[in-house]
Chain A
Amino acid sequence: MILGELNQLRDREIQSRKKITLRCCMAAGCVSSNSKGVFEALQKAVAESGLGNEVEVRGVGCMRLCCEGPLVSVNQDGAEDSLHVRVTSENAASILAYLKGGKARTTRVDAGMPFFKKQMSIVLSNSGIIDPERIESYIAVGGYSALHEALHEMTPAEVVSMMVQSGLRGRGGAGFPTGLKWDTVAKSPGVAKYVICNADEGDPGAFMDRSVLESDPHRVLEGMSIAAYAVGASQGFIYVRAEYPLAIARLQQAIKQSKQFGLLGAGIFDSQFCFNIDIRIGAGAFVCGEETALMASVEGKRGTPRPRPPFPAESGLWGYPTLINNVETFANVAPICRHGAAWFASIGTARSKGTKVFALAGKIKNTGLIEVPMGTTLRTIVEDMGGGAPEGGRIKAVQTGGPSGGCIPVEHLDTPVDYDSLSQLGSIMGSGGMIVMDDGTSMVEIARYFMEFCMDESCGKCIPCRAGTVQMHRLLDRIARGQATAAHLARLEELCEMVKSTSLCGLGQTAPNPTLSTLRFFRGEYEALLQPEMPGNEECLAGVSGQVS
């Protein structure tokens, strides 16, 4: 393919657009509440009403307000007209009646509500708009033009330097500067190099990466291709968990189409650049989201982490320099290429640039996917966009970062969301899971839940994580059941510190975080559950009753 052909494809796709588009969400959330039935009902209704020349029914990706799915968005002359929620296959046809001036039997929500208006789309700019199963749909919104620009107008070093200047930091959780990582891989000598996309999203309540893959898979492929060009790799892998069948299907489809169009393979855009992408499906181990464990799994070995250094950038997959980034990180690459590093760096805060996608869940009115500029306060997200707690409840805390993160109490809701502010509060940005808790939630239970998660997901390689999470879980369980004394709490804190300092990989090192952060802000809840000890027996462990389970 050459640029002319790409432009031709784009123009043809734009010209074929009809006056009215009915966008029906076909991402996993809505599909699970029968959006496929809605989609078919809409197609049937259009065919029956003879509006086939005017109305297009398009299956699209996530439209974000997941709690109200299935969602159907009506667009006339390129502008959003109305957003229909909780559409069923029975009332879907009435949307057509509404278009003709009649009355829709569906519920509509205000597309201008803060949940939508306060969002800023970079990563999700095509999500809910294009058809993720058609490459032409992506090309029509400028897709693959960034790859062309990188290949023909920039040297690999210039691409790396652009990433450095953009200030993009890894969206997988740790926030390592992306440009620096690319630079290291580019400069590491190696007869082969690899690019890996980490799509092993596993935090409870997080579905950002899944949505991106289901809604806009080509964006990730384009980002990976640009990265491969920059670092000198010719083979890429997407490591995606088996629990994401729809994302896998769309990725497979996207890779197939890209190959057909010559956007993957040899001599891409008539250049010397060759790049292929293969999918590796994870078997459901959380620890495989850790980069060294992920690489072991790609190599076909047992998915366990290994000590770093050496870092993957120097010695990764099969010992070769490997660039490994998260889905959302790659999703930011093409926009940075198209609009420039300065544009990206102008968004966000001093040390956290761009936007962040969050999966908003928990005790809140509006749940779903949001993308906000870095530096947006938690209050804006939770109260304005999320609409606050459901009737009768009061928000107590916000959990970010999943099992590696922490709980931020309501007093700190004015904290801006950026890497540094969240880590100061003992939490982390994480990959983007955000769970809101109301006053009915016990923080000890939350800590116990996350510890149980880490205990189940520990790979078993290093002792502190394997055996420490078990003991921490026992202690938390004992506290939650009201059978612990102050000595148990002290032991728990001691163990948290030890496991954090001595574990081999991020899983163990961060497993104590939910416990430590709830202890920091909600210590009273723990203490209220403690039993007094018999006089003279203060340091004993089993407690008064001597009942140990």
Chain B
Amino acid sequence: MAAKTLTINGRQISAAEGSTVLKAAEEAGVEIPSLCHLDGVYDVGACRLCLVEVKGASRLLPACTTVISEGMEVQTGTERLIKYRRMTLELLFAERNHVCSVCVADGHCELQTLAYSLGMDHVRFDYLFPKWDVDNTHSLFGMDHNRCILCTRCVRVCWHIEGAGTKNVSGRGGQSKIITDLNAAWGKSDSCTSCGKCVQSCPTGALFYKGSTVGEMVRDRSKLEFIVNAREKKLWVYQD
């Protein structure tokens, strides 16, 4: 496969043709924050945290869906980008009820980690305190909509890795909600295979194993990786 040369933050790197900016940066050791991206499923460019500046582009581009090109000049951490990322996180924290101190994912949450690594020490927008319910009808898993950031990882994992097509999105705008089947209770779902991949994919504490208490919900992404590698690279090795 041909390689392309590009610069990221002034540093020249090369990456395989067809790679995304996010992938190329990761390989070069440059970290670009993201929440909706998940290795193994297609990207949707929704969280807007991975936006980067590309010389010559009129707009900021999402690193996860932008394919590299020869001579591309990318900036991943300008003052403007950092400011926007922090605001994006603040909008997320204000949008639903993210109470870290009582969350199953405390200490293992991607949203929480991004917040402190990007220096978010408080939220300048009004907290909305919406009323969302918790679906505890499934025998193994629970879904707390209060902690959902609508990244749709669970939906994509469910459709494209497991192939069950149980999870989906209903409603629109701030009223959007992750649903099972046609908005049935999860425990009543005919299509759910109880594989738990959605739980492994969740970046926050929205999806959890029943019985986990504060800080206990640790994800094991290697399970997803194993299936994707097996399917795409025909590599049947489980790396624990």
* Direct contact between the two chains A and B in their complex (CB within 8 A): yes
Which residues from 1 to 54 on chain B have a C-beta closer than 8 Å to any C-beta of chain A? 44-48, 51
Given the complex of chains A and B, what is the CA–CA distance between A106 and B179 in angstroms? 59
Does residue B169 face the partner (Cβ distance < 8 Å to A)?
yes
Say yes or no: B173 contacts A457, CB within 8 Å. Answer: yes
Say yes or no: B173 contacts A466, CB within 8 Å. Answer: yes
Does residue B217 face the partner (Cβ distance < 8 Å to A)?
no
Does residue A104 face the partner (Cβ distance < 8 Å to B)?
no
Does residue B95 face the partner (Cβ distance < 8 Å to A)?
yes
Given contacts A467-B174, A501-B59, contact A462 B46 (CB under 8 A): yes
Minimum CB–CB distance for B180 against chain A, Å: 15
Does residue A349 face the partner (Cβ distance < 8 Å to B)?
no
Which residues from 374 to 419 on chain A have a C-beta closer than 8 Å to any C-beta of chain B? none
Say yes or no: A466 contacts B60, CB within 8 Å. Answer: no
B89's nearest neighbour on chain A, judged by CB, is A463
Picked from B44, B92, B169, B171, the residue with its CB within 8 Å of the CB of A467 is: B92
* Chain A residues in 8 Å Cβ range of B83: 498
* Chain B residues in 8 Å Cβ range of A470: 95, 128, 173-174
Say yes or no: B173 contacts A458, CB within 8 Å. Answer: yes
- For A459, A466, A468, A469, the residue with the greatest tally of chain B CB atoms inside 10 Å of its CB is A466
Say yes or no: A471 contacts B91, CB within 8 Å. Answer: yes
Minimum CB–CB distance for B59 against chain A, Å: 7
B88's nearest neighbour on chain A, judged by CB, is A463
Given contacts A307-B65, A462-B47, contact A471 B171 (CB under 8 A): no
* Chain B residues in 8 Å Cβ range of A471: 91, 94, 125-126
Say yes or no: B172 contacts A541, CB within 8 Å. Answer: no
Given the complex of chains A and B, what is the CA–CA distance between A462 and B62 in angstroms? 11
Given the complex of chains A and B, what is the CA–CA distance between A285 and B171 in angstroms? 11
- For A302, A470, A548, the residue with the greatest tally of chain B CB atoms inside 10 Å of its CB is A470
* Chain B residues in 8 Å Cβ range of A548: 126
Given the complex of chains A and B, what is the CA–CA distance between A464 and B51 in angstroms? 12
Minimum CB–CB distance for A288 against chain B, Å: 11
* Chain A residues in 8 Å Cβ range of B169: 302, 460
Does residue B87 face the partner (Cβ distance < 8 Å to A)?
yes
Given the complex of chains A and B, what is the CA–CA distance between A148 and B136 in angstroms? 64
Say yes or no: A464 contacts B173, CB within 8 Å. Answer: no
B45's nearest neighbour on chain A, judged by CB, is A307
Say yes or no: B62 contacts A307, CB within 8 Å. Answer: yes
A474-499 near B? 1/0 per residue, CB < 8 Å: 10000000000000000100110010
Does residue B132 face the partner (Cβ distance < 8 Å to A)?
no
* Chain B residues in 8 Å Cβ range of A541: 124
A467's nearest neighbour on chain B, judged by CB, is B91
- For B92, B95, B149, B168, the residue with the greatest tally of chain A CB atoms inside 10 Å of its CB is B95
Given the complex of chains A and B, what is the CA–CA distance between A548 and B129 in angstroms? 13
Say yes or no: B150 contacts A460, CB within 8 Å. Answer: yes
Minimum CB–CB distance for B222 against chain A, Å: 28
* Chain A residues in 8 Å Cβ range of B176: 459-460, 466
Does residue B84 face the partner (Cβ distance < 8 Å to A)?
yes
* Chain A residues in 8 Å Cβ range of B150: 460-461, 466
Given the complex of chains A and B, what is the CA–CA distance between A469 and B125 in angstroms? 12
Does residue A260 face the partner (Cβ distance < 8 Å to B)?
no
Does residue B175 face the partner (Cβ distance < 8 Å to A)?
yes
B75-100 near A? 1/0 per residue, CB < 8 Å: 00000100110011001101100000
Does residue A7 face the partner (Cβ distance < 8 Å to B)?
no
Say yes or no: B173 contacts A491, CB within 8 Å. Answer: no
Given the complex of chains A and B, what is the CA–CA distance between A211 and B176 in angstroms? 33
Does residue A503 face the partner (Cβ distance < 8 Å to B)?
yes
Does residue A446 face the partner (Cβ distance < 8 Å to B)?
no
A505-540 near B? 1/0 per residue, CB < 8 Å: 000000000000000000000000000000000000
Does residue A455 face the partner (Cβ distance < 8 Å to B)?
yes
* Chain A residues in 8 Å Cβ range of B172: 285, 287, 457-460
B159-192 near A? 1/0 per residue, CB < 8 Å: 0000000001101111110000000000000000
Say yes or no: A460 contacts B124, CB within 8 Å. Answer: no
Minimum CB–CB distance for B148 against chain A, Å: 11
Picked from A287, A456, A461, the residue with its CB within 8 Å of the CB of B44 is: A461
Given the complex of chains A and B, what is the CA–CA distance between A458 and B65 in angstroms? 21
Given contacts A498-B87, A501-B84, A502-B88, contact A460 B126 (CB under 8 A): no
* Chain B residues in 8 Å Cβ range of A462: 45-48
Given contacts A467-B94, A471-B125, contact A460 B47 (CB under 8 A): no
Say yes or no: A502 contacts B174, CB within 8 Å. Answer: no
Say yes or no: B45 contacts A504, CB within 8 Å. Answer: yes
Say yes or no: A306 contacts B60, CB within 8 Å. Answer: no
Say yes or no: B124 contacts A491, CB within 8 Å. Answer: yes
B150's nearest neighbour on chain A, judged by CB, is A460
Given contacts A458-B172, A460-B173, A466-B150, contact A474 B126 (CB under 8 A): yes
Minimum CB–CB distance for B65 against chain A, Å: 5
Say yes or no: B84 contacts A498, CB within 8 Å. Answer: yes
B67's nearest neighbour on chain A, judged by CB, is A309
Given contacts A462-B48, A463-B46, A471-B125, contact A502 B60 (CB under 8 A): yes
Given the complex of chains A and B, what is the CA–CA distance between A285 and B169 in angstroms? 15
Minimum CB–CB distance for A415 against chain B, Å: 24
Minimum CB–CB distance for B27 against chain A, Å: 21
Minimum CB–CB distance for B94 against chain A, Å: 7
* Chain B residues in 8 Å Cβ range of A504: 45-46, 48, 62
B120-152 near A? 1/0 per residue, CB < 8 Å: 000011101000000000000000000001100
Given the complex of chains A and B, what is the CA–CA distance between A474 and B125 in angstroms? 9
Minimum CB–CB distance for A170 against chain B, Å: 17
Given the complex of chains A and B, what is the CA–CA distance between A174 and B80 in angstroms? 26
* Chain B residues in 8 Å Cβ range of A501: 59-60, 80, 84
Say yes or no: A456 contacts B124, CB within 8 Å. Answer: no
Given contacts A466-B176, A469-B173, A502-B84, contact A461 B46 (CB under 8 A): yes
Interface residues, chain A, with chain B CB atoms under 8 Å away: 285, 287, 302, 306-307, 455-464, 466-471, 474, 491, 494-495, 498, 501-504, 541, 548
Interface residues, chain B, with chain A CB atoms under 8 Å away: 44-48, 51, 59-60, 62, 65, 80, 83-84, 87-88, 91-92, 94-95, 124-126, 128, 149-150, 168-169, 171-176
Contacts A/B (CB < 8 Å), 16 sampled? A285-B172, A287-B172, A307-B65, A459-B173, A460-B169, A463-B46, A463-B92, A463-B149, A466-B173, A466-B174, A467-B174, A468-B91, A470-B128, A471-B126, A501-B60, A501-B80
